[in-house]
Structure 1
Amino acid sequence: MFRRCVIVSVTLCVLLCHVAAINAEGSTKCECAAFNANESDKPLPSEMEPILVQNPMNTTCSEEDARNCELLCIELVKVGKDKAPEILCENLEHMALQPSLWSRTCDGEWKYSGLTCEKKICCHESKPVPCWDE
């Protein structure tokens, strides 16, 4: 059900901003990002700018923490999905987008979560509006 429109939004981190952070020496950030799937058949975040990036927790660079980061990003999207169009459009003037969710730790490579909004989100004057082509 949540796959109808799964995107990253600012509210996601607000909803769970008190996630316990790892305060170990050498810790770094877990990042959740929305990239526009419309820009490519197969999004390549290394060549694209994210629409929005959130840092919900500090982490270490272990494989286990990278997986925990990805799972946290997915859960945050589930929690905040209803507010996501408004929050994304707040940060954009005019745009049609089809966001997909990616995560990374330690400034490494972005990893696709498998979640992409099935329908476009259209923004006009920083507000969500119906898309003309749907």
Structure 2
Amino acid sequence: MGFGWKLTISFALLFVIGALCGATITLTLGSMHQFTAKAPPAFTWEQAAMRNLTKQLNLTPEQQEKVRVPIHEAIERLRAVRQKTVQENNEAFDQTLAGLAPLLTPEQQQKLDEFRARRTAHLRAAMAKVSP
């Protein structure tokens, strides 16, 4: 009878360990996905805005056509503002990185230069994908 309890406890413990491992993996991968998610393209923003306005305001097809132009123009302005903001943020961060050089050893300065070069290449590649 003692063996049956040990077996039951062993299986229960194994189940709990498996559940904890599964939860940990799920939370880890879920949080990683949060940081890798990309912003939807502007065309998707436009579609979502039109869909929401049509639903919320019960727009007729004629009204939808009239509303589509100002929505498109607003999305284009938002895209330009977003692109400018991203560029300004990147420049500010790069200036900060450049200002770190006097605080570093020559070896660290070299690593910083390599980091900045990789970062610049990555940003250019990302901007090339976004640019029309």
Q: Which has the higher contact order (CA 8 A, sep 6+)?
A: 1
Larger relative strand fraction: 1
Higher Cα Rg, which structure: 2
Normalised to the residue count of structure 1, the TM-score between the two structures is 0.24
Normalised to the residue count of structure 2, the TM-score between the two structures is 0.24
Larger relative helix fraction: 2
